[in-house]
C-alpha cells in the first residue's frame, strides 16, 4: 500500500518521514537541497519553537530549522 503524502509539519513529534516532494518556489528550493534535504531523504520532526514557529528537523544527522510556512510545503511519506 503506498503511503499517503502529508506535510512535514503534520508528522508526530519524533516521527520520521521520507521527503516525497518539495513544493517550494524554484528560487528557494536549491538552498534547501544543498543543505541535504532532497526527495528521498529521511527527515525527523524534532519540535516547534515555543511560539509555534519555526520548526526544527533532523536531516542527514544534523539539526536544521525552517519556518513553518516552508516546512508545510515539504511533503513526506510516513513509514509507519
Partner 1 sequence: MIEPPPPSNPDPVDPAAGAAAPLRYVALTGNPNSGKTTLFNLLTGLRAKVGNYAGVTVERKEGRLKNGPARREIRILDLPGTYSLSPNSLDEQVSRDVLFGRLPEVPQLHVVVVVVDASNLQRNLYYATQVIELGYPTLIALNMTDVAESLGHVIAADKLARLLDVPVQPIVASTGQGVPELREKLVSLALNPPLIKPRLFCQLPGLFRIEATGLADLLANTFQNRPWQATAEALLILSNENALASSRTHYPPAIQSAVAAARKRLDAAKVDWRGAPIEWRYARVAEIQQAATTELAAPGETFSDKVDRIVTHKIWGTLIFLALMFIIFQCIFTFADYPMRWLENGVTWAGDQVGGFLPPGDLRDLLVNGVIAGVGSVVVFLPQILMLFTFIGLLEDTGYMARAAFLMDRLMSRVGLHGKSFIPMLSSFACAIPGIMATRTIESPKDRLVTILVAPLMSCSARLPIYTLLIGATIPDRVLGGLNYHLDLGFTRFNLFGFLGLRGLTMLAMYLLGIIVALLMAWVFKKTLLKGEAPLLIMELPPYKRPLFRVVLQHIWERSKLFLTRAGTVILGVSIVLWFLATYPRSSQREAQFEARRNAITRSFNPVTLATGPGSAAHQAAALEEQLAAIDQAEFGENLRHSFAGRMGRAIEPILIPLGFDWKIGIGIISSFAAREVFVSTMSTVYNLSDAGDADEGMKTLEQTLREQKRPDGQPVYTTLVAVTLMVFYVFALQCASTVAIVRRETNSWKWPLFQWAYMGALAWTLAFLTYQGGKLLGWG
- Which positions touch partner 1 (CB under 8 A)? 26-36, 38-39, 46-47, 49-54, 56, 60-67, 70
Closer Cβ to partner 1, 68 or 77, answer by number: 68
Minimum Å gap between C-beta 4 and partner 1 is 24
Are residues 78 and 17 in contact, defined by beta-carbon separation less than 8 angstroms?
A: yes
Helix (H, G, I), strand (E, B) or coil at 40: coil
Minimum Å gap between C-beta 10 and partner 1 is 19
Are residues 8 and 72 in contact, defined by beta-carbon separation less than 8 angstroms?
A: yes
Are residues 76 and 6 in contact, defined by beta-carbon separation less than 8 angstroms?
A: yes
Minimum Å gap between C-beta 62 and partner 1 is 5
Closer Cβ to partner 1, 5 or 63, answer by number: 63
Strands 55-59 and 42-48: antiparallel
Closer Cβ to partner 1, 12 or 63, answer by number: 63
Amino acid at each position: 500500500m503506498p503511503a499517503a503524502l502529508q506535510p512535514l509539519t503534520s508528522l508526530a513529534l519524533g516521527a520520521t518521514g521520507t521527503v516525497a516532494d518539495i513544493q517550494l518556489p524554484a528560487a528557494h528550493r536549491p538552498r534547501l537541497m544543498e543543505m541535504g534535504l532532497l526527495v528521498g531523504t529521511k527527515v525527523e520532526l524534532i519540535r516547534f519553537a515555543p511560539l509555534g514557529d519555526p520548526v526544527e528537523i533532523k536531516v542527514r544527522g544534523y539539526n536544521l530549522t525552517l519556518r513553518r510556512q516552508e516546512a508545510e510545503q515539504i511533503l513526506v511519506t510516513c513509514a509507519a
